[in-house]
Structure 1
Amino acid sequence: MINLRDYNNQEEIITLLAECMYPDVERVKREYERYRNDQNRILLGRIEGKNLVGIIGVIWLTENEVELKHISIKASKRRQGLGKKLIYEFIKENQIKRIEVETDKNSVNFYKKIGFKITSLGEKYSGVERYKCIKDCY
């Protein structure tokens, strides 16, 4: 994985980031800028050939605990284990002891399948149930 802070194709990053966020272009751009400017955040990507095929964005909570804020895989690369691979590679390379993520019903089974403990947060937004997913590592 590479750090995308100085990656030269900003539009490619924003397009992939938008796929895992509420589709508001200005909001996605603001989130991208947070990754570029906040030292407690990191946005990493996987390049295959010359294409960005996946991203993972985290916020450092402590030296070895993170909150996974974003994960997105290019549509043509989905369901091939790349999301799991990005998470586990990040955990290993950074000696992460705990990773947490908040997600919705559409993604909760992905996290459950790869060993996260799932807790319902209830209906956090009108009509939308949210889940806290936590994985203790090592």
Structure 2
Amino acid sequence: MELLALCMADGKEAAEQEMNRYFTGDSGELFGCFVNGELSGITGLRRESEHAVEIRHIAVKPEWRGKGIGRAMIEEIGRAAGVETIKAETDHEAAGFYRSAGFAVTSLGEKYPGVERFACVLSVNALAQSRM
């Protein structure tokens, strides 16, 4: 719950509601990343089509940030059977993370008053080729 709240603007109450939606299957699937038995990060995914997934939530505990956990979670998503495209929508603060992970990042403009949002798209094949 604490990690989900980190990536939600509305905080703990909204995270609790979203967690309940994950448990009922209404939001997609929620995955955890563990390091030495400790939950270090989470990724919430929704399948858009047979070959595309959307990252709905991604968060890494503050003490684990900068150690490649977020990038490793994205790479793991890319290794899932059939995934060719990974999409996400984010704010200005996280756009640089997605860029550094290989996503094409495009401004969606001011989607909410005073809040610019960004569309992020990653071709899994391009990611695999860049790692070679």
Instruction: Give the alignment's TM-score, normalised by structure 2.
Output: 0.88
1:73 is the counterpart of 2:60? yes
| Farther-moved stretch of structure 1 (67-76 vs 47-56) | 47-56
The letter of the residue matching 1:123 is E
Mark the runs of 5 or more structure 2 residues left unpaired by the alignment.
126-132
Q: Aligned-pair RMSD on alpha carbons? A: 1.4
1:3-53: CA deviation from partner (whole Å, max 9, x where unpaired):
xxxxxxxxxxx0111011114322111111111111661100012233211
Q: Which residue matches 1:7?
A: none
Distance 2:83 2:73 in 1: 13
Q: Which residue matches 1:53?
A: 40
SS across alignment from 1:94: coil
Distance 2:82 2:65 in 1: 26
1:35 is the counterpart of 2:17? no
Matched-pair contact (CA < 8 Å) for 2:18–2:27: no
Matched-pair contact (CA < 8 Å) for 1:67–1:101: yes
- Across the two proteins, how many residue pairs are aligned to each other? 125
SS across alignment from 2:102: coil
Identity %: 37
Distance 2:27 2:117 in 1: 24
1:119 is the counterpart of 2:106? yes
1:19 is the counterpart of 2:6? yes
Moved over 3 A (4+): none
